[in-house]
Amino acid sequence: MYLPDNLGVPAKLEIKRITNYDKYCPNNNCDTDLDKITIGFLWLLEQCYSAFKNKSQDINSVNAFFIYIISWFSYKLKQNFNYTNTPINDFYNQHVKNNDKYKSFTSPAYTIGDLGEFMDERNDLLNINIEDMSKFYDALKLICSMYSDVTMTKHDTLPTNAIMFVKKYQELNNDCNIKGTARSKIFSALSTDYNNLKEKCKDFKSLPEITANISALTSGDTSSSSSIGNKLFTVLSIIGAIAFFLGISYKRKNKKYKEENESLICDSKSSDNPRNSNNS
């Protein structure tokens, strides 16, 4: 993975090996942690925007992926730099959009493409402050982990991850500062992805409903939200997870790209898209 979730964990692959790295950092001078996080964000944003432009995913899926991206971005900014009350949009405009370092990507995307309109249409989400948005990352990572459980046939870990997710979802729903349309979009994305998973796994009668009272089912191991990241059976890099969700498979004949390809699709050995393309 290029950008590990936990501080102090070395990256398995250099961010410079990410596909089209030169597009995001043409001067090859993006060596700080903030640079690396920003490049990861821009790469993810391009995948999401491309899916929107090419209509390779329905709009509900694109919106869900965008929420995943800004949640990861917020999580990394808070983790590394302790950003809290700054709206995502303020940080993005100051440090990304208007930063000459990344203009090889942002300039044509705004002047030739429709990235500006794409971002403006999601202003309600971008106006969320970094700390509030970062709180959703554990839940989103659990979603990624459950889809990986299914894909990798790790059915023994799926029920536990499902209980952890429902517990986290309910905690967020009861203690969330986000209001209005942004709130409804976030919780809709979470519940839709979870319910789609349940639909695919009808044989698992033990998977709880998202509104279930699960206090009797949970143990002390799932009581602390801060411990979720360390207790996942399958911890995924969000870069790999979103690439996997979008069905991105960088198939290379050249052997030197094999390791990069496998990391981008979570070592899943599959490019199938596990999300329901008919989300509502």
Total number of residues shown for the chain: 280
Kindly report the pTM of this predicted structure. Answer: 0.78
pLDDT per residue of the chain (280 residues) written in tens, 0 to 9: 567 777 777 777 678 888 888 888 888 888 899 999 999 899 889 888 988 988 877 888 889 889 999 999 999 999 999 888 999 999 999 999 998 889 888 888 888 788 999 999 999 999 999 999 999 999 988 888 888 777 777 778 888 889 999 999 999 999 899 999 999 999 999 999 899 888 888 877 778 999 877 665 554 444 333 333 333 322 334 445 554 444 433 333 333 433 333 333 233 223 334 444 344 3
| CA dist., res. 16 & res. 132, Å (int) | 30
Which pLDDT value is given to residue 229?
35
CB 139 within 8 A of CB 165: yes
Coil, helix or strand for 87?
Answer: strand
| CA dist., res. 16 & res. 24, Å (int) | 10
CA dihedral sign of residues 209, 210, 216, 221? positive
| CA dist., res. 280 & res. 277, Å (int) | 9
Query: Which pair of structure tokens corresponds to residue 36?
Result: 């690396």
| DSSP structure class, residue 113 | S
Which pLDDT value is given to residue 251?
34
Burial, 219: exposed, middle or buried (Cβ in 10 Å; 0-12, 13-18, 19+)?
A: exposed
Which pLDDT value is given to residue 96?
93
Which pLDDT value is given to residue 123?
96
